Amino acid sequence: MSFNLSEQYNCVVLEFKGKVMGGPDAAKLNEQLHELIDEAKKNVVVDLSRVNFMNSSGLGMLIGGLTTMRNAGGDLRICNASKKIESLLMVTKLITVFDHYKTLDEAVASYADKS
C-alpha cells in the first residue's frame, strides 16, 4: 500500500492505493498522522477509491488512525469505499464507527459543516 497526501480546504486527504493490510504500512500511517497533529492539522479524510483489497489488519490500521485523530481533538473520515470494503465495514459493524461518504467532495464538505 502507498498513500498520497494533499490538502483540500480545511482538511488533509490521504489517498490510499493498493492493498491495505497493516504491517509496516500501519507504522507509516501512524507516523504521518502524528506529523499532521504536530502541524495542528487534525481533520483527515481517507480516500479508499484506489484500494483493491483490505484485510482485518488494514481495518485495524484505520481504527488506529481514527483513535489517534480523535484523541488529538480531530477526526478521520473515509470515502469512496468499494462495495467489497463497505461490506467488510458492515459485517464488522465498523460502518457505525466511521463517518463515511460516497465521494471525496462530500467528505471534505462534512468538515465545513462542523462549524
pLDDT of residue 57: 93
Is 60 exceeded by the pLDDT of residue 114?
no
Instruction: Please tell me the distance from the alpha carbon of residue 34 to that of residue 65, in angstroms, as a whole number.
Output: 10
CATH 3.30.750.24 fits 2-112, yes or no: yes
Instruction: Please tell me the distance from the alpha carbon of residue 110 to that of residue 100, in angstroms, as a whole number.
Output: 10
pTM of the shown model: 0.93
- Where are the chain's structural domains? 2-112
pLDDT of residue 112: 85
Is 50 exceeded by the pLDDT of residue 115?
no
Work out the pLDDT band at 9, boundaries 50, 70, 90.
confident
- 8 A C-beta contact, residue 46 and residue 39: no
- 8 A C-beta contact, residue 11 and residue 108: yes
| Lowest mean pLDDT across 22-26, 81-85, 90-94, 110-114 | 110-114
